[in-house]
Chain A
Amino acid sequence: MPEGKLVVSLTVNGQPVSATPETTVAAAVLIAGGYTRASVSGEPRAPLCGMGICFECRVWIDGRQHQRSCQILCAPGMDVRTP
């Protein structure tokens, strides 16, 4: 975490993560050491395109499913869930 920058605290699967407000939720999930979704045959998947077209970065955010986490910035108190 770079010093002197505003920090937002959120949770990924209940685990606290600190990030700058410019951090995407996709990056926060990887920082937390996880992946974003399980494929239809159960493989772990993580972001591919970083630009909103591949849908590999879908996660649950605050109870809403299928959120493309590469297009969403971290916000204070966000509750992010992955499989």
Chain B
Amino acid sequence: MRFDVVVVGAGPAGIAASVTSAREGRRVALVDDNLAAGGQIWRSGEALPRNAQKWIAALRSSEVLHLRGLQVFDHPAAGVILAERGEDCVALRYSKLILATGARELFLPFPGWTLPNVFGAGGLDAMARGGLPVAGKRVVVAGTGPLLLAVAAHLAARGAKIVAICEQAPLRRVVAFAGRMLKQPGKLLQGVGYGWGVRSKIHFSCWPVAAYGKTAIESVTLRKGKKQWTVFCDFLGCGFHLVPNTELAQLIGCQIDEGFVATDELQQTSVENVLCAGEPTGIGGVEMALIEGQIAGLAAVGAVEEARRLARRRRKMLGFVSALRKAYALDPELRRLAAENTIVCRCEDVAHGALREHRCWRDAKLQTRCGMGPCQGRVCGAATEFLFGWRADGVRPPVFPALVSSLAGANFVSGNSSEA
């Protein structure tokens, strides 16, 4: 299949990019591994805010071909990406490619974090939206970032009993940030607004140090400074804010700066015909994702003047991105959470003690199999970057474990002989 524009990721950035570029008869495809459009924030199972409804309606009424449930796993040559769904593999040919692959949560290992019913914070929210009953359950939400309050509010609205919200950042930094946000268009405000109902449970400079339970979590010990106490809970949602999904961009060869995909002000990456929008370029929240998506969509179809106008608006929002990063910067004490036998790599069960002695990611990977499992280091790579300062090494295809049949197809396609 051949397109003028292929967009990877149907979160706010990808939706905005595809809708904006689908003009004047351009053939546009939007590919996402989920069944519904919306990315991480506009998941179904929730009454969506008005601007989300507006964008999703615009997508539905547009000419964009929305390819659902397809995961992009390779970029065998310039102008082609490969995606699979179940046993099917398709090659999508593009003139312009827009990467809008979003972000995932950062998970930090602590004793007991591998117990069932310990989730990410956004992870627990996603599970609840996916039908996990939380009504009447005792829930602790922990980690860092504005997401914690949004998650606690969502869960409370579904009847969960919020036992505690533990934000690792100190109160003064969060207050300074919130004050700043009131002057900013940033929609992460959502989180703070939601917070009122549950705010009495919020602890700052506080995090979980151990989770306990026989077959699933039963209690968690929390620490705030020198004070330490244990609470009973049914679910723990713990996430230390977001890390960008840059694997596909790295595979394509896009330049990465300090962990993020480098772009110019029109969202163009260092690779010709490849643009990037949303969280992979910097963790900036939904408003930033929407504006970057529109800039990329316009730039991809040559509407440069319009794109520049929006780029000027985007520039004004950059202060928010760095304020967010500073406000929720991780406390170095969190590096000491993992004990000797705490598992860091969950796919291969590699413990902290076995990793500590290695010099770098590559070394650890070869000696211990850390990062060699199916998640391909998406969880432990980000954790060891924080714990040991390691940088995960280059990305090789497939960026997600692909079926053997798809890989066979991939060879076929890169041999230029197949068109899906």
Q: Which residues of A contact B (CB under 8 A)?
A: 19-20, 22-24, 26-28, 30-31, 35, 39-41, 43-56, 58, 66, 70-71, 73-74
Contact = CB atoms under 8 A, between A and B. Distances in A.
Interface stretch (B125-133, B174-182, B279-287): B125-133
Given A50-B120, A50-B122, A50-B125, A39 B131 contact: no
B95 interface: no
A26 B124 CA distance: 12
Nearest to B369: A40
Interface residues of B, number: 39
Contacts of A28: 131
B33 A71 contact: yes
B293 to A, nearest CB: 19
Contacts of B346: 39, 45, 48, 54, 56
B45 A22 contact: yes
B205 interface: no
A19 B117 CA distance: 19
Q: Is the interface of A mostly helix, strand, loop or mixed?
A: loop
A45 B116 contact: yes
B107 interface: yes
A45 to B, nearest CB: 6
A26 B347 contact: no
Contacts of A46: 116-117, 216
Residue of A35, A49, A73 with most chain B CB atoms under a 10 A cut-off: A49
B141 to A, nearest CB: 14
Contact of A24 (B40, B107, B122, B130): B130
A51 B122 contact: yes
20 contacts: A26-B130, A27-B131, A27-B132, A31-B133, A40-B347, A43-B114, A44-B215, A45-B114, A48-B379, A49-B122, A49-B123, A49-B126, A50-B125, A50-B130, A53-B379, A55-B347, A66-B374, A70-B126, A71-B33, A73-B35
A49 B131 contact: no
A40 to B, nearest CB: 5
Interface string B370-395: 00011100110000000000000000
Given A45-B346, A48-B346, A49-B123, A54 B114 contact: no
Q: Is the interface of B mostly helix, strand, loop or mixed?
A: loop
A48 B45 CA distance: 19
B44 interface: yes
Contacts of B379: 48-49, 53-54
Contacts of B125: 50
B295 interface: no
B118 interface: yes
A31 B127 CA distance: 11
B104 A51 contact: yes
A5 B39 CA distance: 25
A49 to B, nearest CB: 5
B373 A55 contact: yes
A26 B349 contact: no
A68 B148 CA distance: 25
Contacts of A41: 349
Contacts of A43: 114, 343, 349
Interface in B16-69: 33-35, 40, 44-45
A51 B131 CA distance: 14
A53 B375 contact: yes
B118 A51 contact: no
A7 to B, nearest CB: 12
A74 B35 CA distance: 13
B84 interface: no
B119 interface: yes
B117 to A, nearest CB: 6
Contacts of B349: 39-41, 43
Interface string B327-358: 00000000000000001001111000000000
A48 B123 contact: yes
B216 to A, nearest CB: 7
Contacts of B292: none
A39 B375 CA distance: 13
Residue of B44, B120, B132, B373 with most chain A CB atoms under a 10 A cut-off: B132
B167 interface: no
B114 A23 contact: no
A49 B130 contact: no
A58 B378 CA distance: 16
Nearest to A39: B349
